[in-house]
Amino acid sequence: MRPLTIATWNVNSVRAREARLTAWLRERQPDVVCLQELKCEEATFPWDPIRFAGYEACIAGQKTYNGVAILARAELSLTDVQRGLDDGEPDPHARLIAATVGGVRVVSVYAPNGQSVGSDKWNYKLAWYDRLRGFLETRCRAGEPLALCGDFNVAPEARDVHDPARWEAETLYHPRARQALADVTSWGLTDTFRQHVDDGGFYSWWDYRAGSFHKNMGLRIDHIFATAPLAQRCLAASIDREARKGKDPSDHTPVVASFEYLDA
DNA sequence: ATGGCTGCTTTGAGCAGA
């Protein structure tokens, strides 16, 4: 049976990226795609173009900011959809959606950026990471196949940052942000990209300004983490740098992992 | 390079991202 391919992509507005997204779906035909930064509500989500490209979708949206989705090839069923951290905290940010597809529990997250170290948004980022750990503990099982995918807004290690010394003071690579991510993955998650690639210099986000992409001045902040029963079946992982090229790209590029197929 | 883009907004200059 062909492998199950899971991708994650912060599209920086699903409406602005509609043509790029549907072209990419047709070309790559991943089985599952986690999207972040939809920047729209359900009513304005491009349901028809995505269906026409062969995908069903479930979304947690909001106007202007945030918004996450899970797409699945129409042949696969998308069941047991959950939205939000569901921990009783009042939080209007649409940053998490989960669904079961192809025998895998898939979670699409958009972690807070944190803006600047010490700000209210920084505190929200760290608290959100604690809550994500709580979500995994109470709503998920580490012994079952699960993929936690998304824009984590944290580069885990020095080899994931083009200039670690400069970025250490920033929200994306600050030691406390790295610890917050490590406290989530210690629940029982493996970084699928690092199962297959040891070298540095592979990034998933580049600033739009100053020719950062051309100079490869980026950070690896988008990830596909897998529980042990899924990580054991990870066949390959990659970053689709091609999708960052050309006219009007997202500032992020897709990250992809493929797995030996698991029956539902 | 504390921003050199970009997308969004009851269409405008300001916010937010990373």
For chain A, count helices (H), then strands (E): 7, 14
Instruction: Tell if A192 CB is < 7 Å from nucleic strand B.
Output: no
What rounded mean pLDDT belongs to chain A?
97
Q: Which tokens sit at A242?
A: 């091609």
Q: For position A264, what pLDDT does the model report?
A: 53
The answer on pLDDT for A42 being more than 60 is yes
Q: Considering all nucleic acid strands, name the nucleotide whose C1' atom is nearest to the C-alpha of residue A37.
A: B17
The rounded percent of chain A whose pLDDT value lies above 90 is: 98
Listed in sequence order, the residues at least 6 apart from A123 whose beta carbon sits closer than 8 Å to its beta carbon are none
Q: For position A1, what pLDDT does the model report?
A: 80
Report strand pairing: A96-101 vs A104-110: antiparallel
Q: Which helix (H) or strand (E) holds A47?
A: helix A47-52
Given the residues A151, A191, A222, A251, select the one marked as catalytic.
A151
Task: Name the residue closest to B6, CA to C1'.
Answer: A208
Tens digits of residue pLDDT in A223-242: 999 999 999 999 999 999 99
Q: Choose which CATH entry (3.40.50.2000, 3.30.470.10, 3.60.10.10, 3.40.50.300) describes domain A4-259.
A: 3.60.10.10
Decide if A62 contacts A96 (C-beta within 8 A). Answer: no
Q: Considering all nucleic acid strands, name the nucleotide whose C1' atom is nearest to the C-alpha of residue A15.
A: B7
Q: Which tokens sit at A207?
A: 């600033």
Q: Considering all nucleic acid strands, name the nucleotide whose C1' atom is nearest to the C-alpha of residue A169.
A: B2
Determine the Cα–Cα distance for residues A97 and A87; give it in Å rounded to an integer: 14
Decide if A222 contacts A192 (C-beta within 8 A). Answer: no
Q: Which tokens sit at A220?
A: 């690896």
The answer on pLDDT for A261 being more than 90 is no
Q: Which helix (H) or strand (E) holds A33?
A: strand A32-36
Q: What share of chain A is helix, strand, coil (3-state, %, to 5)?
A: 30, 30, 45
Instruction: Tell if A209 CB is < 7 Å from nucleic strand B.
Output: yes
Report strand pairing: A218-219 vs A104-110: unpaired
The model's confidence at residue A263, banded by pLDDT at 50, 70 and 90, is low
- Note the Cα A195 to chain centre separation in Å: 17
A110 is catalytic: yes
Report chain A's terminal Cα–Cα distance, integer Å: 13
Domain range list for chain A: 4-259
Given the residues A110, A129, A173, A203, select the one marked as catalytic.
A110
Tens digits of residue pLDDT in A105-129: 999 999 999 999 999 999 999 999 9
Contacts 24+ apart (CB under 8 A), A17-26: A17/A248, A17/A250, A18/A46, A18/A49, A20/A243, A20/A248, A20/A249, A20/A250, A21/A50, A22/A49, A22/A50, A22/A52, A22/A53, A24/A240, A24/A243, A24/A254, A25/A50, A25/A53, A25/A54, A25/A55, A25/A71, A26/A53, A26/A54
A208 is catalytic: no
Enumerate the nucleotides of strand B whose atoms come under 7 Å of any protein CB.
Answer: 1-10, 16-18
Angle between helices A175-185 and A120-139 (to 10 degrees): 10
Report CA(A142)–C1'(B6) in Å, whole number.
38
Residue A175 amino acid letter: P
Instruction: Tell if A210 CB is < 7 Å from nucleic strand B.
Output: yes
